[in-house]
Structure 1
Amino acid sequence: MRRAYGHPSGGEHDTHDPSVTRTEAYTDAVFAIAATLLVLDLTTSSLGDVHSDGELWAALGALWPNLMSFGVSFVLLSGMWMIHLRQFRDIRTVDSTLLWLNNARLLFVVLIPFTTALTSEYNDYYAGRVLLPVDFFLVALFGHLSWRWAAARGGHLMTADAYAARAAGAAGGLAAVSCAAIAVAASPWIGSFAFFAFLLNAPLAALLQRGSRPGRDAGTTAG
């Protein structure tokens, strides 16, 4: 039997129990640490010996793959954190399954600085181009699975308002997973430019949400 950490049912009051706050704070901290560690790939030692302004600008220009990887990872990591923020705004309580799904997401969050460094240094190799998109795909996937689990069984871990609007949350998560999958598929050929697939996230989420409305209005269970 799975244990729910907090109020077993929402009743008429969808208050957030303390376990949700602690889980959210822990997750925020992991995201913040991962974002901070990204900058460690940018060090002045990478510039080599510099003896003039011209050499310094040339050395900085040579760092553009590192800067691009840093920028892409920071923006996408921020986007994944925003998804987490919206999810936990709508979570009423947590159970062991949700905690482990969230921990799985965080496992791949903390790997992002490492896979970003691989992309910067080994972009000429297949693994160097693919591992960062795969990492983000797994972060998005476990984030979506967390939402699906919270919405399952009649929204057993969600607030009543969030369950009523669950189609929007499910569409947003599925769109992120789909964009990440496109990035993985394209990365062997175009490297970090494959992350431009995430520009499709908003229109794809809107399309998926529009497609889910008939089922939602009919009262069917969605994630």
Structure 2
Amino acid sequence: MTAQPRTQQFRTERFKAFVDAVVAIAMTLLILPLLESVSDAASGRLTTAEFFSEHSPQLVSFGLSFVLIATFWMGHHSQYRDVELITTPLLWINVAWMATIVWLPVPTAMLGQLDSDALQAVVYIGTLIMTQVTTLAGWMYLRRHPDLTTAPTEVLRAGIVGDLAAIILFAVSLVIAVLTVPNGYFALLLLLLNGPLSRLLNHIAHRRGRGSDAEEPRVG
């Protein structure tokens, strides 16, 4: 019988450099609509105060997305800090993650320049949800393949729980944003509850785990 080939594995150095480059480009793209707006303001002879007043939605959307991408990158850095090898499936999970990051400047520009509507909220917050879903997929893959990382099981479990909490909060924010257009994006402040919700989910998981252990029949 012919032995099955092992899944191809890659070192992490180029992978991490590639991710960092993609994130840096995406964060840079966020500013381009504002640069164009400055040129338009100069052509229209607007004052600085008038520019800030007329383009406040663009400024807010830029700041929001910049912070979110930075937060996603910091989470990604923490997630892959102890990973020593990258398999092909894990690489494609990260390609999907990077696709959501690169796409985010587009709904950000929509948020800053178009009139708010329900579909816009779905596109913007839906992109954030997909970023979190791909992050969760990475944690789950690493949990099933612990040989790829030196991170302890507790760290992998905490990553899964934290992403589940974030996805729940993003989903709730999306519902609120759709129902309260055009001011619903303030619902993203719910993400500040990620820590408490993660602890609650962890507590529930631990209780269920202890309950399962107690129900196992004793042999004797």
Question: Which residue in the other structure is 2:218 paired with?
Answer: none
Alignment of 1:123-202 (within 5 A): 123-153=115-145, 155-159=146-150, 161-188=151-178, 189=180, 190-202=183-195
Question: Which residue in the other structure is 2:7 paired with?
Answer: 3
Give me the whole-angstrom Cα distance separating, in 2, the residues matched to 1:31 and 1:216: 38
C-alpha spacing 1:90/1:123, structure 2 compared with 1 (3 Å): farther
Give me the whole-angstrom Cα distance separating, in 2, the residues matched to 1:87 and 1:217: 27
- In the alignment, does 2:91 pair up with 1:87? no
CA radius of gyration, larger in: 2
C-alpha spacing 1:101/1:45, structure 2 compared with 1 (3 Å): same
Q: Quote how far apart the aligned CAs of 1:214 are.
A: 4.7
- In the alignment, does 2:39 pair up with 1:49? no
TM-score with structure 1 setting the length: 0.81
C-alpha spacing 1:168/1:218, structure 2 compared with 1 (3 Å): farther
Alignment of 1:1-40 (within 5 A): 3-5=7-9, 19-40=11-32
| Structure 2 counterpart of 1:5, one-letter code | Q
Give me the whole-angstrom Cα distance separating, in 2, the residues matched to 1:163 and 1:213: 14
Is the 2:8–2:88 Cα contact (8 Å) retained in structure 1? yes
Is the 2:23–2:102 Cα contact (8 Å) retained in structure 1? yes
Give me the whole-angstrom Cα distance separating, in 1, the residues matched to 2:210 and 2:45: 65
Q: Quote how far apart the aligned CAs of 1:73 are.
A: 0.5
Residue deviations 1:21-71 (CA, integer Å, cap 9, x gap): 2212211111111111111121203425226xxx43123112111111011
Moved more, 107-116 or 171-180: 171-180
Is the 1:151–1:157 Cα contact (8 Å) retained in structure 2? no
C-alpha spacing 1:203/1:125, structure 2 compared with 1 (3 Å): same
Question: Which residue in the other structure is 1:10 paired with?
Answer: none
Q: Quote how far apart the aligned CAs of 1:141 are.
A: 0.6
TM-score with structure 2 setting the length: 0.82
Structure 1 residue ranges, 4+ long, deviating more than 4 angstroms after superposition: 214-220
| Structure 1 counterpart of 2:114, one-letter code | Y
- In the alignment, does 2:65 pair up with 1:73? yes
Is the 2:142–2:156 Cα contact (8 Å) retained in structure 1? no
Residue deviations 1:108-152 (CA, integer Å, cap 9, x gap): 110011110011112333222321111111011101111111111
Question: Which residue in the other structure is 2:206 paired with?
Answer: 213
Q: Quote how far apart the aligned CAs of 1:97 are.
A: 0.8
Give me the whole-angstrom Cα distance separating, in 1, the residues matched to 2:32 and 2:207: 48
| Structure 2 counterpart of 1:110, one-letter code | V
Q: Quote how far apart the aligned CAs of 1:166 are.
A: 2.3
- Structure 2 portions without partners, runs of 5+: 214-220
Instruction: Pick one of 81, 84, 89 that aligns with 1:97.
Output: 89
Is the 1:171–1:209 Cα contact (8 Å) retained in structure 2? yes
C-alpha spacing 1:122/1:130, structure 2 compared with 1 (3 Å): farther
The percent identity for this pair of structures is 30
CA RMSD across the alignment: 2.4
Is the 1:151–1:166 Cα contact (8 Å) retained in structure 2? yes
Give me the whole-angstrom Cα distance separating, in 2, the residues matched to 1:169 and 1:70: 27
- Structure 1 portions without partners, runs of 5+: 7-18
Q: Quote how far apart the aligned CAs of 1:168 are.
A: 1.4
Paired residues, number:
203
